[in-house]
Structure formats: C-alpha cells, structure tokens
C-alpha cells in the first residue's frame, strides 16, 4: 500500500472546493502527510499589447493584483478548513500545467483535485482534472464534486 507524505490540493474556489479540501485533510491525517494548497490564476494579458509600444507593462500590475487577491482568498479558504499550518501557493498560468509542475517541484506524491464528472461535449472540451490526470507524474485523486 502506498504511503503519501506530501499532498498537493488544487483549489479553484468553486462552491464545491470545500469538499476537495475536506478530503485532502482526511488523507493527510490518515497518512501523516504534509499539505500544499495551490490556486492557479488563469490570466492572459490584453491581446493589443503586441501592437503598442511597451513602456509601462500595466498587465504586470494586473497580474500582481490577481496574485495578491488569490493569496488572500487561499489564506481564508485554508483557515476555514482548519489547515492553517499547510503550505499555501498561488501562481499564474494554465491550471493543468501549473498543478502538475508545482507538484513535481514540491515533491508531492499525491494530487487531490475536484471533478464534476462531465459528459459529452463538455468532456471533449477538456477539464482541469482530466488534464492533470494526463500530465501528472504522480498519483491523482479526482474527488467527485456535488455542485452546490
């Protein structure tokens, strides 16, 4: 049986994200594992940036504001779960790539992520959980979410 030592928890702040956090806390307690809560901010700089002279990168200020807001939201989320001692990380990028990259960098041996269990065209368009399952080099637990 696998013993997990470091669990990365992907947090999207959806209404069902609490379910993912609770499951991860339970697993961490069972295995005596450390927790890393990660939120990935999806942000694309304005497209017209390439057509204007770059003197003041306002989009970098936008990223800074988004990162700070993400940190505040993640801090509250983790405190409400009662996991205040856990590592908290916020980054900008494409969630499926950033989640797997950070998991590798941090040496996580399990990724816990929510999954809505979509079917049909919504599944074909892809989901973050599906992408993480595809790109992860470690175990992934996709928690079936009950929409709230």
SS (H, E, C) the chain: CCCCCEEEEECCCCCCHHHHHHHHHHHHHHHCCEEEEEEEECCCCCHHHHHCCCCCCHHHHHHHHHHHHHHHHHHHHHHHHCCCCCEEEEEECCHHHHHHHHHHHHCCCEEEEEECCCCHHHHHCCCHHHHHHHHCCCEEEEEECCCC
pLDDT for res 115: 87
- The count of structural domains within the chain is 1
User: Domain range for residue 19?
Assistant: 6-144
Determine, yes or no, domain membership for 64: yes
Is position 1 within any domain? no
**Residue 111 placed within a domain:** yes
Q: What is the mean pLDDT of the chain?
A: 86
Predicted confidence band of residue 125 (pLDDT cuts 50, 70, 90): very low
Residue 68 forms part of a structural domain: yes
Q: Where residue 115 sits, what CATH number does that domain have?
A: 3.40.50.620
Q: What average pLDDT does the segment 75-96 reach?
A: 96
């Amino acid at each position: 049986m696998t013993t997990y030592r470091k669990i990365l928890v992907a947090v999207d702040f959806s209404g069902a994200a609490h379910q993912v956090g609770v499951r991860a806390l339970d697993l961490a307690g069972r295995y005596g594992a450390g927790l890393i809560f990660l939120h990935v901010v999806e942000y694309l700089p304005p497209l017209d940036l390439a057509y204007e002279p770059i003197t003041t990168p306002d989009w970098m200020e936008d990223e800074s504001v988004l990162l700070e807001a993400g940190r505040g939201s993640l801090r509250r989320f983790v405190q409400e779960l009662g996991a205040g001692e856990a590592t908290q990380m916020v980054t900008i990028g494409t969630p499926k790539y950033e989640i797997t990259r950070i998991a590798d960098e941090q040496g996580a041996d399990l990724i816990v992520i929510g999954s809505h269990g979509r079917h049909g065209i919504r599944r074909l368009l892809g989901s973050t959980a599906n992408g993480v399952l595809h790109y992860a080099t470690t175990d992934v637990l996709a928690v079936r979410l009950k929409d709230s």
